[in-house]
Copies of this chain bind each other. A is one copy, B any other.
Amino acid sequence: MIEFHGYFRSSSSYRCRIALNLKRLESRFHPVHLLRDGGQQKGDAYKALNPQMLVPAFEVDGHVLTQSPAILEWLDETYPEPPLLPQDTMLRADVRAFCAAIGCDIHPLQNLRVLQYLAEEFGAGPDAKNAWCQRWIGDGLAACEALLARRPAARFCFGDTPGMADIYLVPQVFSAARFNVDLSAMPRLRAIHAACEALPAFADAHPARQPDAE
């Protein structure tokens, strides 16, 4: 059994939920509230699990897995069906580059701890924090749209079955909506997002449908 420590609104927890659903794997959810009690991820119990004090974390057979990029690769290596990455090494590199464009160059910049720093140290109010998020999400998703524009049309990011790139895209589009990012110039990403949301594996992973949703 996978013990899944996460938070409904966390993009990286959301990615893991989608992957678990696509793989049809069971897990037991342990909510970690990122705001309550000064941030439960900073409490002794969670810190002992993950010294980085970030969600998600998986506990599997007494082993603790952290960092969603590592967890997703582990899931795909351990439970190969259905595959989240293609077989061809060049195409795998394209998929992983798309994922890193979101996982490295967008998501960490709009993370809670970063927005808290901007407020505390630079006096950023809601408008300034929104502008910050809009810049990195907007630029980043525009680059993702351009990366896909080089490829033949497809229902999902990389072909006619959902995979790793879609797992990164959907939570990032959810987050883009929270920060009012304009996606009108990204028709392909919007169409892929809609195709994903039509699948139960994605729809059931939506933050609003989690037991700790508010």
Contacts and interface: CB of A to CB of B under 8 A. Distances in A.
A89 interface: yes
A52 B121 contact: no
A51 B107 CA distance: 18
Contact of A143 (B52, B89, B128, B143): B52
Contacts of A181: none
Contacts of A135: 117
Copies in the complex: 2
A45 B114 CA distance: 33
A153 interface: no
Contacts of A118: 122
Interface string A95-132: 11101110111011100001001100110100010011
Contacts of A60: 90
Interface residues of A, number: 48
A68 B96 CA distance: 10
A51 B150 CA distance: 10
A151 interface: no
A116 to B, nearest CB: 11
A97 B99 CA distance: 15
19 contacts: A51-B146, A52-B140, A65-B90, A66-B101, A67-B101, A67-B104, A69-B100, A70-B93, A70-B96, A71-B93, A73-B92, A74-B90, A74-B92, A78-B89, A100-B103, A103-B104, A108-B108, A108-B109, A117-B135
Interface of A: 51-54, 60, 63, 65-71, 73-74, 77-78, 89-90, 92-97, 99-101, 103-105, 107-109, 114, 117-118, 121-122, 124, 128, 131-132, 135, 140, 143, 146-147
